[in-house]
Structures are given as C-alpha cells and as structure tokens.
Amino acid sequence: MGPVSVLPKPQSLSTWEGDLAKMTHLQAGLSPDTIEKARLELNENPDVLHQDIQQVRDMIITRPDIGFLRTDDAFILRFLRARKFHQADAFRLLAQYFQYRQLNLDMFKNFKADDPGIKRALIDGFPGVLENRDHYGRKILLLFAANWDQSRNSFTDILRAILLSLEVLIEDPELQINGFILIIDWSNFSFKQASKLTPSILKLAIEGLQDSFPARFGGVHFVNQPWYIHALYTLIKPFLKDKTRKRIFLHGNNLNSLHQLIHPEFLPSEFGGTLPPYDMGTWARTLLGPDYSDENDYTHTSYNAMHVKHTCSNLERECSPKPMKRSQSVVEAGTLKHDEKGENENTQPLLALD
C-alpha cells in the first residue's frame, strides 16, 4: 500500500481558498484588538469559522416548526458570537429568535422606523443611543423611564423601538463582539407609571431581549430607582438567567459606583458625565434620516440599512402629539450625587441584584 497523501485535491484546495476568502470578508473591518478579543473571550477561530457556522446551519432541520427566514453566514455568525461559539447554544438562540417573532406576529408587523408606534417611541427617546462607545468598545443605550407618556406610547411600541434599534446596531461586527451597556434612569418615575409594568409585558421584554436576541449585554444599570422598582425586580427575577441577574446593578443616586464601571468621559451630564446633556432626538434622526428635526414628526428620508421609506402623512402629523425637544429629560444635571460617606440610605454601594 502506497503512502497516503495529506494534500487536498485541486478541487478541495479551491474550495478551501474560497472559504478562507469568505471568512476574511466576515472579519473585515474589525480592528486587530477586536479580533484578538473575539479569540480570547468568544473562542472565535478564523481557521474553523466556516465549520462552526455550517454546524449551526445543519441543525436547522431539527426544528421544522420554525421558519428560519435568514441563514446566511454573517447572520449566523452573530449568534455564535453571542454564545461564545458554543454551536448548540448558538442554534438554540437562533431558533428562539425566529420563534419569538412567530409567537408575537403583531409586534413585527411593519417592523420599520416609519411605523407610527415605533416612530413616536424613537422621537421620545426610546431608546437613547450615545454616539461614542465606552472604554471597552461597548455601545451605551439610555432609557429615561419618566419620559414614558402612556397616553402616547404603549410599552409594546417602546419595546419594538428598542428591538429595531438593536437590529440596526448589531449589524456592526464590532458591537457583536464588544456588546452593549444599558442605563435606565428611574428619576420621577411614578408609582402610577410603574403600575403599567405588568408581569406579562415585562416577561415579553425579557424574552425578547435576554432569550431571543444575539446581543452581549455587559451590564444593566439602574439609577435613581424608587422602592417600587425593587418590587418589580422581585416579579421579574424568576424569568432572569443567573448570568443576567449578576449584570443588573443598582446604584441609587450614587455616582461613584456608576463611574467605577462606566467612566464619566463617556456619559452625559445627567449621569455626572463630562458630555453635554443627552439630546433625545439623536438616535431618531439617525433612523429617520438627516432631515429629521424636532419640529417635524418625521421626514421622507430613508434609513438605508433597514431599507425604510418614509411617506409624510398630514393625518398622522395632526393626530400625533407634538414630540419632545432636546432631551426634555426630567433628570437634570447633578441630580445624581457623589456619596463619600455612604450615609444616605438610598445611596448604596454598587449592588448586583442577585
């Protein structure tokens, strides 16, 4: 018996070269530091990237009950990154992503920035998205809870606006690897407003964000939270994974604990940062187009990445309440306080809610 050749046949070599070029394209645009971070933290290996993606794709046949509407390499890759390249976990997340959309069809009808409900939520600052990333390269999302006008925006539309925003942001491979930070400011969030946060809609949000979306959340930070937000946390705690619970932080009005995790130079002045007050229209202008202004409900300019077209409707404009200008946040700069002695019972050291 002659020696066995370990060299690929010409056709196999050609296929291998094609796969290598494809993987190079998938990692194109990533900084060397981010590529190294993906290798160390996410187990991403460019040499076997195609095999990892294909293994996830091969599992689709096991779930004929789910319509997998997108299965290209770049799409599957974000699920692998979200689950540190554990193929079974990545497939489970992929399946839950589409199953969540099947089970909540009404939420994803006209799932575009020009949908009236989504548009109102975006203009009212749900969510806020800071332009610059933090020192770990993470995108910072803001929610000013008291700005929720319940006569204007349903909780579901706010959730849809957040999910749509994440869909846009997760197209960036850097964010697939570095992830996100969410800061929720509960200043002046009334008990009446909190009473609308029922267990069923909170569960809907948790399922959509924790269980069904390929994003890495490095932390969820509560500031200025009243006692009834603690009670709400007790309601949702059973639905949270242990890993998620350990990433929810309660700061009260303690700036020191917040700044230990997010440096002030990356935060607006509402959170004791060195940046100007957050402009609630910033992210809405990004999605609704460069012609968006605070005086106009929305414009005809499309957001190319989402292939969204906007058609002005006089009827919609007349029926919709006038949007807020600037941030009109109920949180003024300096509301949060530096606590050096820890004497204020509402100003606690950093606490993980687990």
Q: What is the pLDDT of residue 14?
A: 52
The pLDDT confidence band at residue 60, using thresholds 50, 70 and 90, is very high
The pLDDT confidence band at residue 290, using thresholds 50, 70 and 90, is low
First to last CA, the chain: 64
Structure-model confidence comparison of residues 352 and 178, the more confident one = 178
Strands 139-144 and 128-129: antiparallel
Interval 194-205: pLDDT, tens = 999 988 899 999
DSSP 4-27: PP-SPPHHHHHHHHHHHHHHHHHT
Q: pLDDT at residue 301 above 80?
A: no
Q: What is the pLDDT of residue 292?
A: 64
Q: Is 78 exposed, middle or buried (0-12, 13-18, 19+ CB in 10 A)?
A: buried
Q: pLDDT at residue 308 above 80?
A: no
The 3-class secondary structure across 161-180, one letter per residue, is HHHHHHHHHCCCHHHHHHCE
Q: pLDDT at residue 243 above 60?
A: yes
* Mean pLDDT value across residues 10-29: 58
The pLDDT confidence band at residue 29, using thresholds 50, 70 and 90, is confident
Structure-model confidence comparison of residues 164 and 13, the more confident one = 164
248: closest CA among 196, 190, 186?
186
Q: pLDDT at residue 232 above 90?
A: no
Average pLDDT, the chain: 81
CA torsion angle 110 114 118 121 (round to 10): 180
* Mean pLDDT value across residues 236-265: 91
Question: Across 35-153, where does the E strand assignment appear?
Answer: 128-129, 139-144
Q: What is the pTM of this model?
A: 0.79
Strands 248-250 and 351-352: antiparallel
Specify whether the CB–CB gap between 194 and 228 falls below 8 A: yes
DSSP 245-312: HTTEEE-TTBHHHHHHHS-GGGSBGGGT-SBPPP-THHHHHHHH-TT--TTSS--S--BGGGTB----
